[in-house]
Each structure stands twice: as C-alpha cells, then as structure tokens.
C-alpha cells in the first residue's frame, strides 16, 4: 500500500555549514570536560558555529539555492516553502517568509514548522501531502538552526552537543514506482519538559533576569531524552516500513537524526543494518536539530551513497517530544 495518491519524492538537495569549527579541545578551555569523554559518550569531535551577523535565514538561503540548482527549478517554480526551525531570525515574520524574499520565490506560500529535531522529516511528509493531493507541484523543505545562540556555554551537559547548519530538499512528483512509500509521525507532549527552553515564549517572558538565570537556553534531561530516543528511532522506521509494505531486508540505506552515536548504533541494530548502510556525520557537526537529517541527506546524496531505486529511510526525534520517519524509493 503506497501512502500517496501520486508518487512524490526528492529531486534536489543542498546544505550549508558555517566555516567556523569548534573542536572538543576548544571546549576543554571553556567548561569542565575533555575530548575523550565527549567522543566516548556522544561520538562528536567538532561542530560548526555561525559567526556574529550570520542568521538562520542566510544559511537556509544558501542550502536552498543548491537544492534548487540540483533539482533544476527556478525560484518562481516553487509553490510552497516549509521551514523547519526552532531558531528563526525573529518571531515574526517567519523564517520561511524571509527565505522566500531572499530567493525571490514570489509564487510560494511560506510558513515555519516547529517540531525541533524531527522538523525536517515532518516537513518532507507535509510537503508530500500537498503534492500528493494535487494542491502544489514543487515544495521547498528546509531545516536550519543556529543552536549556538540557544545553548548555555557554561553548561557542559548541553554545550558539547549542538552545532549550526542548514539543509534543504526540493520535493516534487516523481515517476511511478519511485518516491515516498511509507511514513510515521508522532508526539508525546507529556515528555515536553525533558528538552525545553523555558523562557522566551508568552509563559515566561525573556528579560535580563531570565537570561541571567539561564532560562533562555536549552535545558535537557539527558537520560530521559536518551531513553526516549533509543526506544523511538528504530520503532518509527519499522512502522514506516510496515506501512510501505516493505521487509527489513529491503532497506538499502538509513539516514538518522545525528544526535548521539550510541542512539544511532542502537537503531541500526534494531533494523539489522550494518553501519556501512547508515550515514553518520555527527562527528563533524554535532546535533544541528532540524538541519541534521537535511545536511546528512545532502552529503550522502552528493557522495553517491544511494542510487536510483534504492530504499532509503529517514528518521528524526526531538523536543516535544516528537518523532517522524519515512521510507522512499530514491529517484
């Protein structure tokens, strides 16, 4: 059973990473941590940090241009922009509208989607739904974050994990037999406090005192999030495979959210996948939230990791708590 009325797939990918690299050794000078500890527990060796003056929308624009170039579509061809982020340039206008203006995509509807680290996969599924129902033809899905401005650089539990970057994909109808075959999305709002930024919304307004107290930064219950991720990542892919009417042994490649190498290993084992069929760039970029799967997809695509007809799974999990996955036959 295919999940879509029309075959919908990805026809172009792009990504952008700031040049500025911060290594584990750099972090040793800032907080009480060390390279070995970080590598053994997370798999992260370095991350990219956006310089002052570079915004989320700028990185998204660069990634989007590359995806559109690969897809051979112009800005005017884009019907809709879905921008997954938890670090937009500002609250209003949306990052998607800033991106629309940057690209000159004057025919596109545009909005932001907030599902944290699951956001890009949520966005792909949403885009496919618009195209599958015949409402739109070409949808640009972007995941971009500047998490370095949302972490407390004195908190060794979180500042070691996150990085900045952007990724994009153009979603379109593809020939019969290709494209998205199965999806799964979900949320468990009861776990929301395990990963949150307490201040900055309307419940706790951001002011100098709240900044001083660290309430405008990411707060994370590491063990809780780890348990949730290990339980969720493999399970959501299995559900997408089931909906695609596909067996585990038919899966050719897996692009997981890049949060922690132990979580990725655990999901690979559950899916009976050797690590050479799992894409990992966590060691270079850390956790880039909504950009993570998007950047990994573009790198894997440009490195030729999968070919036409391969069955590829994507999966994300994150704050909310949320999760999402899809399985597609690559075109």
Spatial CA neighbour of 45 closest among 227, 257, 195, 258: 258
Cβ(277)–Cβ(250) below 8 Å: no
Q: Which residue is catalytic, options 257, 260, 281, 301?
A: 257
Q: In terms of C-beta distances under 8 Å and separation of at least 24 residues, what long-range contacts does 99-103 make, across chains too?
A: 99/57, 99/60, 99/61, 99/64, 99/142, 102/57, 102/58, 102/61, 103/61, 103/64, 103/65, 103/68, 103/75, 103/78
φ and ψ at residue 317, rounded to 5 degrees:
-150, 150
* Beta carbons within 8 Å of 286's beta carbon, 6+ residues apart: 42, 44, 46, 47, 160, 161, 162, 163, 258
Cβ(9)–Cβ(172) below 8 Å: yes
Q: Decide: helix, strand or coil at residue 51.
A: coil
Tell me if residue 152 is catalytic: no
Q: Which residue is catalytic, options 24, 281, 287, 301?
A: 287
C-beta atoms surrounding 15 within 10 Å = 28
φ and ψ at residue 147, rounded to 5 degrees:
-75, -20
Q: Which residue is catalytic, options 24, 55, 117, 260?
A: 117
Spatial CA neighbour of 39 closest among 319, 284, 273: 284
Tell me if residue 34 is catalytic: no
* Beta carbons within 8 Å of 37's beta carbon, 6+ residues apart: none
Tell me if residue 283 is catalytic: no
Q: Give the active site residues.
A: 117, 257, 287
């Amino acid at each position: 059973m295919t999940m879509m009325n029309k075959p919908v797939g990805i026809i172009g990918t792009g990504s952008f990473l700031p040049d500025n690299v911060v290594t584990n050794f750099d972090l040793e000078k800032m907080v009480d941590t060390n390279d070995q500890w970080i590598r053994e527990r997370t798999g992260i060796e370095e991350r990219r940090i956006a310089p002052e003056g570079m915004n989320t929308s700028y990185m998204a624009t660069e990634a989007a241009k590359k995806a559109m170039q690969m897809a051979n579509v112009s800005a005017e061809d884009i019907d809709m922009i879905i921008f997954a982020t938890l670090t937009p340039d500002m609250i209003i206008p949306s990052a998607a509208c800033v991106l629309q203006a940057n690209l000159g995509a004057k025919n596109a509807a545009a909005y932001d989607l907030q599902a944290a680290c699951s956001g890009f996969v949520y966005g792909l599924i949403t885009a496919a739904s618009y195209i599958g129902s015949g409402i739109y033809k070409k949808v640009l899905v972007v995941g971009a974050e500047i998490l370095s401005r949302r972490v407390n650089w004195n908190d060794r539990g979180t500042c070691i994990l996150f990085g900045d970057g952007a990724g994009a994909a153009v979603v379109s109808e593809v020939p019969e037999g290709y494209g998205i075959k199965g999806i799964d999305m979900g949320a468990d709002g009861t776990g929301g406090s395990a990963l949150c930024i307490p201040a900055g919304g309307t419940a706790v307004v951001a002011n100098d005192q709240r900044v001083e107290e660290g309430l405008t930064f990411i707060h994370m219950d590491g063990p809780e999030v780890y348990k949730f991720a290990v339980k969720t990542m493999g399970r959501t892919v299995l559900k997408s495979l089931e909906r695609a009417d596909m067996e585990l042994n038919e899966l050719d490649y897996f692009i997981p959210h890049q949060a922690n190498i132990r979580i990725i290993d655990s999901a690979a084992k559950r899916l009976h996948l050797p690590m050479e069929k799992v894409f990992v760039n966590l060691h270079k970029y850390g956790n880039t939230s909504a950009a993570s799967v998007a950047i990994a997809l573009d790198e894997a695509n440009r490195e030729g990791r999968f070919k036409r007809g391969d069955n590829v799974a994507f999966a994300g999990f994150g704050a909310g708590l949320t999760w999402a996955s899809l399985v597609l036959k690559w075109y």
